[in-house]
Amino acid sequence: MKTRITELLGIEHPIFQAAMSWASSNSALVIAVSNAGGLGVLAAGPLRIEDFKRIVAEIQAGTKKPWGLNIPLNNPRAPELLDIAFQSRVPVMVASQGGPREHLARFRSIGAKWLHVVASVEHARKAEAAGVDALVVDGAEAGGHPPPSEVGTLVLVRRVVKAVKLPVVASGGIADGAGVAAMLALGAEAAQLGTRFIATPEAGVHENYKRAVLEAEVEGTALVGRGRHPIRQLKNAFSAKYDVAERAGSGDLDQLFNSSSLKQAALEGDVEWGKVEAGQSAGLVDDILPAAEVMKRLVAEVEFARNRLAVL
Ligand SMILES: Cc1cc2nc3c(=O)[nH]c(=O)nc-3n(C[C@H](O)[C@H](O)[C@H](O)COP(=O)(O)O)c2cc1C
């Protein structure tokens, strides 16, 4: 299947494994997805500089195919991470949270493609004006940081596709090939899946986290931190406590928000009091499968969806 994104990046399938702090902050998941013809994306946000360098070298040794690197540009270590990415000649940047303009010329000079993650029409237009190569558009179903506007993927992706000329990668709520095909039908040129790839042996999170994703139903997530920089996570003791405090109009919501972390859930396995970031699509994920198997299944399911539409 050829789309503007597969052509731009030189990948076989229009499928991205989303950047996920801790879950995709290792080499194994990125290598497996890229070698299977998708785009594996390393989440650099939580990594120490030494670990980052080591993991980039592991990926370069593990795949000759294109792979992506996510650096949240508002991260205090972003300048140092960007320097290493540049020196390492990273093929694809998938940047989030911050302005891309000042970085583009430098990364173009090494032939890198720059994709930018946006969650609104306004930010899509701004990123296009800045000169990025493509957009990743996150809708409200997404795990991690969905749009504060809470506009869903179906509507936001369609709106952005009509608002910009750049190729769009749809993200948020997609867990199988039917979802990928739906996004292609909307006009997206690829789809990005995060939560689906948490349920793989390669994902770098605690077994409790993976099990919690399998057990979740589609109603099983909460948006925590409305009016701030909200996260979507699985409902647990922490989200329930936050919900009560929010409804009561409690004044110390910031303190409560910061009392729990993704790391607590991802590395320590505390799925009750940690932030178990995951999307609504957790309710569509029923099994832990090697990432290469997930890719194979996705490709077959996209084909099935295309054929189904063709005969209707
Ligand atoms: C556990 C987790 C961690 C995430 N960490 C990041 C991150 O470090 N950088 C980023 O740009 N997006 C991050 N995201 C958002 C994903 O890149 C992606 O937009 C989202 O997972 C898509 O929704 P889905 O989970 O329904 O597939 C994270 C998402 C999850 C679930």
Ligand 1 neighbours (beta carbon < 6 A): 18-21, 23, 43, 45, 70, 72, 96, 117, 138, 141-144, 171-174, 193-195, 277-279, 281
Task: Identify the pLDDT of residue 31.
Answer: 98
Task: Identify the pLDDT of residue 248.
Answer: 94
CA distance 208 to 231: 20
Q: Residue 19 CA: which ligand 1 atom is closest?
A: 17
Residue from 37, 87, 110, 74 nearest 295 by CA: 37
Estimate the crossing angle of helix 177-186 against helix 291-311, to 10 degrees.
60
CA of 172 to the centre of ligand 1 (A): 8
Atom 11 (ligand 1) nearest CA: 96
Residue from 121, 168, 122, 127 nearest 16 by CA: 168
CA of 185 to the centre of ligand 1 (A): 23
**From 17, 20, 285, mutation site for ligand 1 pocket: most ligand atoms within 8 A of C-beta:** 20
Measure Cα distances from 240 to 45, 143, 164, 228, 231 in Å.
27, 17, 39, 17, 14
CA distance 26 to 47: 9
**From 15, 17, 21, mutation site for ligand 1 pocket: most ligand atoms within 8 A of C-beta:** 21
Query: Is 228 in contact with 242 (CB distance < 8 Å)?
Result: no
Task: Identify the pLDDT of residue 229.
Answer: 86
Atom 30 (ligand 1) nearest CA: 144
Task: Identify the pLDDT of residue 32.
Answer: 98
pTM (2 d.p.): 0.98
Task: Identify the pLDDT of residue 251.
Answer: 82
Q: What is the CA radius of gyration of the chain?
A: 18
CA distance 51 to 10: 27
Task: Identify the pLDDT of residue 60.
Answer: 98
Per-residue pLDDT in tens (0 to 9) along the chain, 312 residues: 999 999 999 999 999 999 999 999 999 999 999 999 999 999 999 999 999 999 999 999 999 999 999 999 999 999 999 999 999 999 999 999 989 999 999 999 999 999 999 999 999 999 999 999 999 999 999 999 999 999 999 999 999 999 999 999 999 999 999 999 999 999 999 999 999 999 999 999 999 999 999 999 999 999 999 988 899 999 999 999 999 999 999 889 999 999 999 999 999 999 999 999 999 999 999 999 999 999 999 999 999 999 999 999
Task: Identify the pLDDT of residue 286.
Answer: 97
Helix (H) or strand (E) holding 310: helix 291-311
DSSP 46-113: T--HHHHHHHHHHHHHH-SS--EEE-BTTSTTHHHHHHHHHHTT-SEEEEBSS--GGGHHHHHTTT-E
Query: Is 163 in contact with 125 (CB distance < 8 Å)?
Result: yes
Tokens representing residue 63 in the block: 């795949």
Task: Identify the pLDDT of residue 188.
Answer: 98
Measure Cα distances from 233 to 45, 193, 201, 221, 282 in Å.
18, 15, 20, 5, 10
